[in-house]
């Protein structure tokens, strides 16, 4: 059995068929969506699809084991790019997400998804705990890095508060923002220093290991934080979701799961009050009541719902969607591309696409059933999770189920980075099937 | 294949995959349920919403009906005009631009609002101002890239040339900063009209466009001058002026300018409160409605109905005209407009013009009426105004001026003002005497220069008296004593009976504007006013003084009746209503109001007596030898047309004896007498009657008679025997009553009637 024959014989044609079919639907849909504004956009998208498929073909030939070796170097490289984009990135619409490579605008946050997929799979394929991971396993609070990171975070936080207060005083504003008093800072730093001392003591007693230095949480939090401050809330959530899905799949201790859920809920409330930017808050607010402010922030959401709803059962026909063609639907070739499909092809077209996505995800998960390697399974689970998050968040947002967060619909939204990333993710699933052990 | 480490059984238990697949499927079913909800359950609602998104109803202006004079000369038509509209929501938003600038500078909402107000409130030519000083160099760069990327205009960063490292100042030029202010400034430049007019229009449009009006086109400026229109069109085609549209419309044009202003009236935009009442009748906001004169009285006839055209618009409100867009609308895209019907007036444009041009006083009115039918030939009120100006772009100023004018130009004095008729009323007293049988044409009364009743004396204007006076002489010389005596014999009610039959004391029924009835005192009237019968006051009434008041239109109507043998016709101004194709759809016939019931021979006597006024010895003989109007005098002398009539000089202020005969020119304007002249022609078979009323004109014979004569001449020059006013032909003018044609055969002095027993 020659290697090429073996590859051809093991190609998961169900997955490959779907990864050809869905972009085809996407290209056809784009030819209508951008008809008025950029009539040749669908050709570009078709070009990107072809390029991505070539990448996938190349990826499929690399043994899964080698991918395992590449995971960490790639992870470090991507984090480097994420730092670079914060320093020298190009800002569009208020977020610094793009690296101008001259011929191509690279979006490192897209690569971050692939890299977290690989690295989490790599990490947890080698790290198994009987009865599921506990929070302690995942976080390892007595790591030396934890109090050090805490100090860095506390310093940045306090410095930011002080700066804001100073600005307010200089401007003569009436209400001066809260500044942390010296005693509070002192208390916080003291706790952190004590924590550090305990961590060092524990390390010295139990002996040094890499695990003492880097916990799974750190691996996930680094790209998450870097993407979040671009700011790109949607992508950062997906980064967390991919890793979270893989961890959940491996199994988490029941008690820890409950604690983590409660802590997550508290974080959401805290994040709402302190971390979200005003425009993000506004989006969430309008999501809760979109009809309230038609021309304002709720405009996107309600126009999208009008587009989808008015498609009814059979749609208005290709190129006949009034919401799309008369530009009532905003960003109709990127984030709101599903609304175009739903308007012009109706419930039949939109339902068909959702089922295609479902079949693709189920195929990826099903393929992994018989895999013998944890790494391969986790790659498939990560790819499925990534697709799942994109599809659910995007369709949820255009149908008014979720707030508008700017997440693309895989293979359907226009964009080179997005297309390549999604294809590569599915390509990983193709790879694992091709190289699986019988 | 190389062996990989790990067991030979699957890496994970099967249930993990099953749970994953189940969760995934469940969530996707929620998505499908959601689109089912939107598309199938609520699909119809959303379809309607999407339609109301892109379909806009735009009105198609319809032409209002035209107005012609009796010879089909157009008096009012519609000319194409261009109106400027704005849609506030689509104008550039300075607040948005400020938010872009404000982000790196950490401006808060209040700050942005203040700056926005400052930009929008800035006066024209206001200097650029500094919005933020000494910005850090890093922020300067961020700002610069924002300004470049967004293409913001009217904002720049000023750096200190000496030490550029100290940062920069942000300078905003309100005139060019991307705001509606900038669009207005550009429009102002393009329109090139007086700035205050333009400012006012902009301000009121912005007030109207509040709330939901932001999304509707609001009239910014009606009737652009052509050069401004051309410049704005050019700018629009270049994509300048976002949110501004130019729409075609029709503008009412009064071709004769101020001539006929009062009878034609004008139209105006419906006010918001009127709209509430009128919307049931199909009026829409912004519709015009007739305000005065014919335009108001025949609003229903002239109005017509706007059509609508449904158009497809995109998210920015721009109309799409592609084949695709047309198919979206289907067949019912256009609801065609209905043109208004046209009116053919009885008024003759030439007579109207002559009446206006020959008028000698400052204020007053002229009414010309066709005697056999009661149709009005001319109706002028002074001072007049130009309806084009009243409805034009500077209407507010014009309107203020007109409203403040003490001469009350807005009032149609021919039907809305009443005056003491003075001596013109003597003919009515005479007719009353004949009708009641108190006198015959030969009855002689003596005039010693006064009439005494008890201790009171009423003086004749001729203090030496006219001696023995019969009907002809009494009217020709306007002898007061004759009528004092006759009036006293008649008493209030008999005089009033005849006056009322002639149309006094009630609204004439022209149906245009609000007519007033005037006052004809009766015994009951004095009972009410003074509590007694006041029999002496009839002496004043009999010469048209005292409480008697009439409108010029009433006087014309009454003299028409006297001239035609006693039949009063309802005055009318419209001959025909025609549809837009010119077919007559309604034809108006003469309408009788009343018949005096006095013998034709007696009426002939009165007419003959009145025909001596312009002859030597008559009060209006001056007409024959006017040096200032030789042509008219020559016509009066030589044309052979005998003008019958009566002068009247109505006292406004009771003058004391000593000033009774001073030159009228030395009396203050508002104390001078009103000057009347009623003339009809030809005296032997009258066709036209003309009343001229000159407020404070002094003596009727000199101020008013020439106007009447000129209008009568115009009747002969332009109207008589032509078209509609061909010599009285029963077939043409509908059913003229038999009494209309007074037999010329009875022209000889009639024998005294049976009861003619009163000797002088």
Helices A64-88 & A374-398 angle (0-180, nearest 10): 40
Cβ separation of B47 and A323 shorter than 8 Å? no
Residue B554 binned pLDDT confidence (cut-offs 50, 70, 90): very high
- Chain A within 8 Å of B532 (Cβ-Cβ)? no
pLDDT value for A90: 74
Tens of pLDDT, residues B406-445: 888 888 999 998 889 988 999 999 999 999 888 888 888 9
How far is residue B374's CA from residue B392's CA, in Å, rounded to a whole number? 34
pLDDT above 70: percentage of residues in chain B: 87
Cβ separation of A167 and B35 shorter than 8 Å? no
How far is residue B248's CA from residue B225's CA, in Å, rounded to a whole number? 13
Write the burial class of residue A279 (CB in 10 Å: 0-12 exposed, 13-18 middle, 19+ buried). exposed
Residue among B27, B38, B47 minimizing CB distance to A305 = B38
Sign of the CA dihedral running B293, B299, B300, B304 = positive
For residues B248 and B80, the answer to whether their CB atoms sit within 8 Å is yes
- Chain A within 8 Å of B585 (Cβ-Cβ)? no
- Chain B within 8 Å of A358 (Cβ-Cβ)? yes
Q: How many CB atoms lie within 10 A of CB A130?
A: 6
Q: Between B151 and B419, whose confidence is greater?
A: B419
Residue among A167, A295, A373 minimizing CB distance to B4 = A373
- Chain B within 8 Å of A86 (Cβ-Cβ)? no
Q: Cβ neighbours of residue A201 under 8 Å, at least 6 residues apart? A: none
Cβ separation of A381 and B20 shorter than 8 Å? yes
Cβ separation of A310 and B43 shorter than 8 Å? yes
Sign of the CA dihedral running B293, B208, B181, B54 = negative
Extract the tokens encoding A273.
């009050």
- Chain A within 8 Å of B197 (Cβ-Cβ)? no
What is the SS3 assignment for B579? coil
Write the burial class of residue B250 (CB in 10 Å: 0-12 exposed, 13-18 middle, 19+ buried). middle
Cβ separation of B313 and A326 shorter than 8 Å? yes
Tens of pLDDT, residues B199-223: 777 778 877 776 556 667 778 887 8
Helix (H) or strand (E) holding B365: strand B364-370
How far is residue A378's CA from residue B657's CA, in Å, rounded to a whole number? 126
Residue with tokens 């020959």: B358
Runs of H (alpha helix) within B575-640: 600-610, 630-638
DSSP, residue by residue, B138-187: HHHHHHHHHHHHHT--SEEEEE-SS-GGG-EEEEE-TTTSTTHHHHHHHH
**Chain-centre distance for alpha carbon B497:** 36
Cβ separation of B10 and A249 shorter than 8 Å? no
Tens of pLDDT, residues B389-406: 887 666 778 888 888 888
Residue with tokens 């501004």: B244
Could you tell me the CA-to-CA distances from B391 to A85, A327, B116, B242, B382 in Å, in that order? 65, 40, 35, 29, 19
How far is residue B49's CA from residue A387's CA, in Å, rounded to a whole number? 32
Cβ separation of B10 and A351 shorter than 8 Å? no
- Chain A within 8 Å of B38 (Cβ-Cβ)? yes
The residue among A9, A1, A4, A19 whose CA lies nearest residue A361 is A19
- Chain B within 8 Å of A347 (Cβ-Cβ)? yes
Nearest C-alpha in A relative to B315? A328
How far is residue B244's CA from residue B84's CA, in Å, rounded to a whole number? 7
- Enumerate the residues of chain B whose CB falls inside 8 A of the CB of residue A249: 12, 16, 20
Residue among A6, A374, A401 minimizing CB distance to B34 = A401
Provide the β-strand partners of residue B446.
B468
Residue among B8, B31, B40 minimizing CB distance to A392 = B31
pLDDT value for B740: 39
**Chain-centre distance for alpha carbon B52:** 38
What φ, ψ does residue A133 adopt, rounded to 5°? -70, 140
Tens of pLDDT, residues B571-592: 999 999 998 888 888 999 999 9
Residue among B1, B11, B35 minimizing CB distance to A374 = B11
Report the gap between the CA of B9 and the closest CA in chain A (Å). 6
- Chain A within 8 Å of B745 (Cβ-Cβ)? no
- Chain A within 8 Å of B634 (Cβ-Cβ)? no
Residue with tokens 């009145």: B610
Q: Cβ neighbours of residue B283 under 8 Å, at least 6 residues apart? A: B270, B275, B289
Residue with tokens 């002080």: A162
Sign of the CA dihedral running B455, B456, B459, B465 = negative
For the cut 50, the answer to whether the pLDDT of residue B738 exceeds it is no
What is the average pLDDT score of chain B?
81
Residue among A303, A342, A391 minimizing CB distance to B35 = A342
- Enumerate the residues of chain A whose CB falls inside 8 A of the CB of residue B322: none
Residue among B39, B40, B54 minimizing CB distance to A326 = B54
How far is residue B375's CA from residue B723's CA, in Å, rounded to a whole number? 14
What is the SS3 assignment for B57? strand
Write the burial class of residue A399 (CB in 10 Å: 0-12 exposed, 13-18 middle, 19+ buried). buried
Helix (H) or strand (E) holding B650: strand B644-650
Identify how many contiguous H helices and E strands chain A contains and give both numbers.
18, 3
Report the gap between the CA of B351 and the closest CA in chain A (Å). 60
Tens of pLDDT, residues B332-356: 667 788 888 999 999 999 999 999 9
For the cut 60, the answer to whether the pLDDT of residue B735 exceeds it is no
- Enumerate the residues of chain B whose CB falls inside 8 A of the CB of residue A377: 11-12
Helices B14-36 & A374-398 angle (0-180, nearest 10): 10
- Enumerate the residues of chain A whose CB falls inside 8 A of the CB of residue B39: 308-309, 311-313, 342, 346-347, 350
Q: Between B739 and B137, whose confidence is greater?
A: B137
Q: Between A25 and B309, whose confidence is greater?
A: A25
Cα-Cα-Cα-Cα torsion A296, A300, A305, A306, nearest 10 degrees, comes to 70
For residues B180 and B94, the answer to whether their CB atoms sit within 8 Å is yes
How far is residue B538's CA from residue B491's CA, in Å, rounded to a whole number? 6
Cβ separation of A381 and B315 shorter than 8 Å? no
Extract the tokens encoding B499.
């006056």
**Do you find a cis peptide bond into B682, omega within 30 degrees of 0?**
yes
- Chain B within 8 Å of A386 (Cβ-Cβ)? no
**Selected residues 46-75 of chain A with any CB under 8 Å from a CB in chain B:** 63, 65
Residue B699 binned pLDDT confidence (cut-offs 50, 70, 90): confident
Could you tell me the CA-to-CA distances from B105 to A33, A300, B149, B169, B286 in Å, in that order? 37, 28, 17, 12, 45
pLDDT value for A203: 82
- Chain A within 8 Å of B4 (Cβ-Cβ)? yes
Residue with tokens 């104008």: B91
The residue among B297, B196, B234 whose CA lies nearest residue B577 is B297
Cβ separation of A312 and B108 shorter than 8 Å? no
**Selected residues 468-497 of chain B with any CB under 8 Å from a CB in chain A:** none
Cβ separation of B28 and A396 shorter than 8 Å? no
Beta strand spans in B212-347 (E): 218-221, 244-254, 267-269, 288-290, 307-313, 319-320, 334-335, 342-345
Residue among B9, B21, B314 minimizing CB distance to A365 = B21
What is the SS3 assignment for B338? strand
Cβ separation of A326 and B39 shorter than 8 Å? no
For residues B347 and B378, the answer to whether their CB atoms sit within 8 Å is yes
Mutation target vs A (from B7, B9, B12, B114; most A CBs, 10 A cutoff): B12
For residues B623 and B701, the answer to whether their CB atoms sit within 8 Å is yes
pLDDT value for A291: 47
pLDDT value for A126: 84
ipTM: 0.87
Tens of pLDDT, residues B10-54: 888 888 899 999 999 999 999 999 999 999 998 888 888 887 777
- Enumerate the residues of chain A whose CB falls inside 8 A of the CB of residue B30: 401
Cβ separation of A306 and B324 shorter than 8 Å? no
Give me the residue spans of the domains in chain A. Answer: 1-61+290-438
**Selected residues 202-261 of chain A with any CB under 8 Å from a CB in chain B:** 249-251
Domains in chain B: ranges and CATH:
349-394+418-747 (3.40.710.10)
The residue among B489, B488, B486, B469 whose CA lies nearest residue B477 is B469
Residue with tokens 């005089």: B495
pLDDT value for A119: 93
Please compute the mean of the pLDDT values over residues B708-735 and round it to a whole number: 73
CB crowding A79-113: b at 16 or more within 10 Å, else e: bebbeebeeebeeeeebbbbbeeeeebbbbbbbbb
Write the burial class of residue B413 (CB in 10 Å: 0-12 exposed, 13-18 middle, 19+ buried). buried
For residues A359 and A8, the answer to whether their CB atoms sit within 8 Å is no
How far is residue A167's CA from residue A125's CA, in Å, rounded to a whole number? 49
How far is residue B284's CA from residue A199's CA, in Å, rounded to a whole number? 81
Extract the tokens encoding B215.
């999304």
- Residue pLDDT tens, chain A, 438 long: 445 556 667 888 889 999 999 999 999 988 887 776 677 888 889 999 999 999 999 998 888 888 889 999 999 999 999 888 877 777 766 667 788 777 777 888 889 999 999 999 998 888 877 777 887 777 777 777 778 878 887 887 787 777 777 777 776 665 566 666 778 888 888 998 998 888 888 888 877 777 777 778 888 888 888 887 777 778 888 999 999 999 889 888 888 888 888 988 888 787 767 666 666 666 666 555 554 444 455 677 788 888 888 888 888 877 777 777 777 777 778 888 898 899 889 999 999 999 999 999 999 999 888 888 889 999 999 999 999 999 999 999 888 888 777 788 999 998 888 899 999 999 999 998 888 875
Per DSSP, B461 falls in state S
Radius of gyration of chain A (CA): 24
For the cut 70, the answer to whether the pLDDT of residue B652 exceeds it is yes
How far is residue A393's CA from residue A437's CA, in Å, rounded to a whole number? 34
Nearest C-alpha in A relative to B327? A320
Q: Cβ neighbours of residue A87 under 8 Å, at least 6 residues apart? A: none
């Amino acid at each position: 059995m020659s290697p090429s024959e073996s590859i051809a014989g093991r190609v998961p044609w169900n997955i490959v068929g779907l990864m050809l079919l869905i972009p085809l639907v996407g290209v056809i849909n784009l030819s209508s969506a951008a008809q008025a504004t950029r009539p040749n956009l669908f050709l570009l998208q078709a070009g990107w699809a072809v390029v991505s498929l070539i990448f996938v073909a190349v990826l499929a030939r690399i043994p899964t084991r080698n991918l395992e070796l590449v995971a960490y170097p790639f992870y470090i490289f991507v984090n480097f790019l994420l730092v670079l984009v914060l320093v020298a990135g190009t800002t569009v619409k208020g977020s610094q997400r793009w690296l101008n490579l001259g011929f191509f605008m690279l979006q490192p946050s897209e690569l971050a998804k692939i890299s977290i997929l690989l690295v989490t799979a790599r990490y947890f394929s080698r790290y198994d705990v009987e009865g599921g991971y506990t929070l302690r396993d995942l976080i390892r609070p007595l790591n030396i890095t934890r109090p050090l990171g805490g100090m860095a975070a506390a310093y940045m936080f306090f410095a930011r508060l002080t700066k804001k207060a100073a600005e307010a005083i200089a401007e003569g504003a009436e209400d001066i923002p809260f500044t942390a008093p010296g005693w509070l800072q002192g208390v916080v730093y003291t706790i952190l220093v004590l924590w550090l001392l305990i961590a060092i003591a524990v390390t010295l007693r139990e002996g040094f290991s890499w695990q003492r230095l880097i916990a799974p949480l750190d691996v996930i939090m680094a790209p998450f934080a870097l993407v979040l401050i671009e700011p790109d809330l949607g992508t950062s959530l997906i980064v967390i979701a991919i890793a979270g899905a893989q961890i959940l799949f491996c199994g988490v201790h029941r008690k820890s799961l409950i604690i983590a859920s409660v802590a997550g809920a508290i974080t959401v409330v805290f994040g709402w009050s302190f971390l979200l930017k005003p425009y993000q808050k506004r989006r969430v607010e309008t999501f809760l009541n979109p009809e309230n402010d038609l021309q304002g922030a709720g405009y996107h959401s309600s126009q999208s719902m009008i587009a989808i709803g008015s498609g009814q059962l059979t749609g208005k026909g290709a190129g006949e969607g009034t919401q799309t063609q008369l530009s009532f639907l905003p960003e109709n070739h990127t984030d709101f591309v599903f609304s175009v499909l739903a308007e012009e092809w109706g419930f039949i077209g939109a339902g068909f696409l959702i089922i295609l996505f479902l079949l693709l995800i189920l195929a990826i998960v099903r393929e992994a059933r018989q895999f013998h390697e944890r790494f391969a399974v986790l790659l498939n689970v990560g790819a499925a999770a990534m697709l799942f998050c994109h599809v659910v968040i995007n369709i949820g947002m255009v149908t008014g189920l979720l707030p508008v967060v700017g997440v693309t619909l895989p293979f359907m939204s226009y964009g080179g980075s997005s297309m390549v990333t999604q294809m590569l993710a599915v390509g990983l699933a193709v790879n694992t099937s091709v190289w699986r052990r019988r | 294949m190389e062996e990989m480490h790990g067991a030979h059984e699957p890496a994970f238990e099967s249930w993990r995959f099953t749970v994953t697949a189940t969760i995934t499927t469940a969530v996707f079913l929620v998505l499908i349920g959601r689109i089912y909800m939107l598309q199938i359950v609520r699909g119809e609602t959303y379809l309607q919403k999407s339609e109301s998104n892109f379909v806009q109803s735009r009105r198609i202006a319809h032409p209002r009906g035209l107005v012609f004079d009796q010879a089909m000369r157009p008096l009012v038509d519609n000319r194409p005009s261009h109106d400027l509209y704005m849609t506030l929501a689509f104008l550039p938003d300075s607040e948005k631009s400020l938010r872009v600038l404000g982000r790196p500078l950490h401006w808060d909402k209040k700050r942005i609002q203040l700056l926005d107000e400052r930009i929008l409130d800035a006066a024209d030519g206001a200097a650029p101002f500094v919005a933020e000083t000494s910005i850090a160099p890093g922020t300067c760069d961020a700002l610069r890239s924002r300004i470049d990327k967004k293409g913001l205009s009217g904002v720049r960063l000023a750096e200190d040339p000496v030490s550029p490292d100290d940062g920069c100042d942000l300078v905003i030029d309100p005139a060019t900063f991307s705001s509606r202010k900038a669009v207005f400034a550009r429009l102002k430049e393009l329109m090139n009209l007086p700035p205050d007019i333009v400012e006012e229009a902009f301000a009121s449009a912005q007030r109207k466009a509040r709330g939901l009006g932001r999304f509707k086109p609001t009239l910014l400026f009606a009737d652009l001058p052509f050069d401004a229109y051309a410049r704005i069109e050019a700018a629009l085609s270049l994509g300048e002026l976002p949110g501004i549209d130019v729409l075609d419309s029709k503008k009412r044009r009064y071709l004769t300018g101020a001539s006929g202003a009062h009878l034609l009236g004008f139209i105006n935009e419906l006010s918001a409160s009127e709209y509430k009442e009128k919307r049931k009748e199909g009026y829409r906001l912004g519709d015009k409605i007739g305000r005065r004169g014919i335009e108001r009285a025949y609003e229903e006839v002239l109005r017509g109905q706007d059509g609508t055209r449904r158009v497809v618009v995109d998210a920015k409100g721009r109309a799409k005209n592609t084949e695709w867009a047309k198919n979206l609308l289907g067949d019912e895209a256009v609801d065609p407009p209905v043109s208004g019907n046209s009116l053919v007036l009885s008024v003759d444009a030439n007579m109207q013009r002559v009446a206006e041009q020959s008028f000698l006083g400052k204020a007053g009115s002229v009414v010309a009426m066709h005697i056999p039918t009661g149709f009005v030939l001319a109706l002028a009120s002074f001072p007049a105004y130009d309806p084009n100006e009243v409805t034009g772009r500077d209407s507010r100023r014009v309107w203020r001026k007109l409203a403040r004018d003490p001469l009350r130009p807005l009032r149609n004095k021919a039907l809305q003002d009443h005056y003491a008729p003075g001596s013109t009323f003597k003919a009515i007293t005479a007719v009353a005497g004949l009708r009641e049988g108190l006198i015959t044409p030969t009855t002689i009364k003596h005039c010693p220069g006064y009439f005494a009743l008890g201790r009171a004396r009423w003086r004749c204007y001729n203090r030496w008296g006219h001696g023995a006076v019969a009907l002809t002489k009494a009217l020709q010389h306007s002898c007061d004593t004759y009528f004092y005596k006759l009036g006293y014999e008649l008493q209030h009610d008999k005089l009033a009976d005849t006056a009322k039959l002639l149309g006094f004391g009630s609204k004439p029924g022209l149906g245009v504007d609000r007519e007033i009835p005037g006052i004809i005192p009766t015994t009951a009237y004095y009972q009410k006013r003074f509590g007694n019968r006041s029999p002496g006051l009839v002496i004043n009434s009999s010469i048209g003084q005292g409480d008697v008041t009439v409108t010029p239109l009433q006087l014309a109507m009454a003299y028409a009746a006297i001239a035609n043998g006693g039949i009063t016709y309802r005055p009318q101004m419209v001959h025909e209503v025609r549809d837009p194709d010119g077919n007559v759809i309604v034809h108006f016939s003469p309408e009788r109001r009343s018949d005096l019931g006095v013998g034709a021979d007696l009426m002939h006597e009165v007419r003959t007596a009145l025909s001596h006024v312009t002859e030597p010895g008559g009060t209006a003989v001056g007409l024959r030898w006017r040096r200032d109007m030789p042509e008219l005098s020559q016509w009066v002398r030589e044309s052979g047309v005998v003008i019958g009539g009566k002068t009247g000089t109505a006292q406004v202020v009771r003058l004391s004896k000593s000033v009774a005969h001073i030159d009228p020119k030395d009396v203050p304007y508002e104390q001078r007498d009103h000057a009347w002249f009623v003339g009809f022609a030809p005296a032997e078979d009258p066709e036209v009657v003309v009343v001229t009323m000159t407020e404070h004109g002094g003596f009727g014979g000199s101020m008013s008679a020439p106007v009447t004569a000129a209008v009568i001449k115009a009747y002969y020059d332009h109207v008589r025997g032509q078209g509609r006013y061909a010599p009285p032909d029963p077939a043409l003018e509908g059913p003229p009553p038999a009494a209309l044609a007074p037999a010329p055969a009875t022209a000889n002095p009639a024998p005294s009637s049976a009861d003619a027993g009163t000797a002088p």
